[in-house]
Amino acid sequence: MSKHAFIFPGQGSQFSGMGKNLYDNNSLAKDLFEQANDILGFRISDVMFIGTDEQLKQTNVTQPAIFLHSVIAFKTMHDAKPDMVAGHSLGEFSALVANNVLQFEDALKLVSIRATAMQKACELNPSTMAAVLALADDKVEEICQQIQDETGEVVVPANYNCPGQLVISGSLNGIEIACERMKAAGAKRALVLPVGGAFHSPLMAPAKEELAAAIEATTFNAPSCAVYQNVVAKAVTDATEIKKNLIDQLTGAVRWTQTIQSMVADGATRFTEVGPGKVLQGLVQKVFKEAVVDGVN
């Protein structure tokens, strides 16, 4: 039987004006935005609707903004009955609201703590990420490992986005060396990304401790359907295991290619991206050409 998967985007899909149509046209959406403004202690809705790209890029704004847009879009859908859910990095928190593991308020608080903790970790260790295009995953992994062994610099695979697109993460020096070596090994491009730090790498360890404490103190309910989590790329339904994987995600890789492959193997034929942008729809089609993809924002 074919299944309907709901997927939720992560950092990078924000844009000025995001969520405004929801706020203006739906009373539930308006209530949730106002509740979020109270929880966060500032009017994030104003930043989302009229903020500059620069303001929206700040991690402590970006992450709650994308989470809010995604979750409110989901909650205002009339026929949202996912058979399975997944989220890319930050999007995993949205997915956990969609399958009833987390309450809206609890998830928003965790996202805010995660964003602040990651911002602090970025300031402790100047670091970055780079996209490597058209080089086999195992070759990218091998080069990262060689650089770490030879130089002691941190360089790791961070986001397995789709075949031929792998984002690496690490120290400034490590990423610079890696970009040169990836190109020499035949990568079409190895491009440093405009991000503030090495997400999904060991350099996020200080943030992981802070987030772990908050996650452990939060109630996780039994899910209404399985969540396919980034670090294990398979269906998870046990609340304790979901917590552990969510904590490990900060320093572990986002195995998105493998996640979509698992969902397809378990019967997914339709994928609905809920939230800002269309990035995930494109990635899904690169992993599974026959997928039916659509989006709700």
* Burial of 149 (C-beta count, 10 Å sphere; 0-12/13-18/19+): exposed
Q: Assess whether 89 carries a catalytic annotation.
A: yes
> What does the CA dihedral 37, 41, 42, 45 come to, rounded to 10 degrees?
-10
Place of tokens 């800002």: 276
Distance CA(217)–CA(220), nearest Å, equals: 9
Please identify which of the residues 169, 200, 201, 262 carries the catalytic annotation. 200
Please identify which of the residues 13, 45, 70, 89 carries the catalytic annotation. 89
Vertex 52: Cα angle to 34 and 61 (nearest 5): 50
Classified as helix, coil or strand, 10 is coil
What length does the chain have?
297
Q: Are 8 and 95 spatial neighbours (Cβ–Cβ below 8 Å)?
A: yes
Q: List strand residue ranges (DSSP E) for the chain, in order.
A: 3-8, 84-87, 127-133, 155-162, 165-171, 189-192, 226-228, 235-236, 268-274, 292-296
Q: Are 141 and 155 spatial neighbours (Cβ–Cβ below 8 Å)?
A: no
Task: Provide the token pair at 79.
Answer: 């026929």
Element (H, E) at 254: none
Classified as helix, coil or strand, 59 is helix
> What does the CA dihedral 99, 100, 101, 102 come to, rounded to 10 degrees?
120
Task: Provide the token pair at 160.
Answer: 């397995």
Q: Assess whether 200 carries a catalytic annotation.
A: yes
- Hey, what amino acid is at 178? A
Point out which residues pair with 162 in neighbouring strands: 165
Q: Active-site residue numbers?
A: 89, 200
